[in-house]
Homo-oligomer: A and B are copies of this chain.
């Protein structure tokens, strides 16, 4: 007899949290196709996971399905969006407007999935004249006023590795509590600050490892 945790489920496993955005995207896809209802099996296939896993994941949010019927696409989509916290947009600053920073600033997926880039910052003064994705690149020194003005809590680091830690420190000092790091460095931040890293060469190296194994032992099985 559980004491019913209807809205704010207490603790959702990290692995589940990482999959919720995938479900959200699949549901959005269904909605765009005009599908109003889907079973856990359909949604699981679309998200590329096991249906039992999907049902267990959703059960952490509450009982939003109907037995014998399935899930209401729009309703479930909203519930997941609310749980993740993307029913409203999050302001985001991007620091480091090099090749990658450009790409991120122009990435339309951010805007459509709950994020709004409010500022582009770069330490290089020669970049201050540029306008990227409709925003003019501003000095990194402006971070304090920008974070304060827009109540920014999420920062993206797209600088060279050498500058990343200093940028992170400065972000934290100005109240940013979540950082997405594209620089190939291990960041150290205080407790309570969330960091996720995206490392392009690490991903390729993992692929290379498995690739090498395939050619050495072709008769063995494979772990994707």
Contacts and interface: CB of A to CB of B under 8 A. Distances in A.
Nearest to A8: B216
A48 interface: yes
A47 B198 CA distance: 15
A46 to B, nearest CB: 7
Given A18-B202, A106-B99, A201-B109, A207 B223 contact: no
A224 B8 contact: no
B194 A224 contact: yes
A159 interface: no
A205 B100 CA distance: 19
Interface string A95-111: 00011101110110110
Contacts of A217: 8
Contacts of A154: 204, 207-208, 211
Interface in A94-138: 98-100, 102-104, 106-107, 109-110, 113-115
A92 interface: yes
Nearest to A176: B211
A186 B27 CA distance: 13
A20 B103 contact: no
Given A98-B103, A107-B200, 16 more contacts: A8-B217, A12-B209, A21-B201, A21-B205, A22-B202, A84-B205, A84-B212, A113-B204, A115-B201, A115-B208, A177-B214, A180-B207, A194-B207, A194-B222, A196-B203, A198-B200
Interface of A: 8, 12, 14, 17-18, 20-22, 24-26, 46-48, 83-86, 90, 92, 98-100, 102-104, 106-107, 109-110, 113-115, 153-154, 156, 177-180, 184, 186, 188, 191-196, 198-214, 216-217, 222-224
- In the A-B complex, list the 4 residue pairs whose CB atoms are closest, starting with the nearest: A85-B212, A48-B186, A99-B103, A178-B207
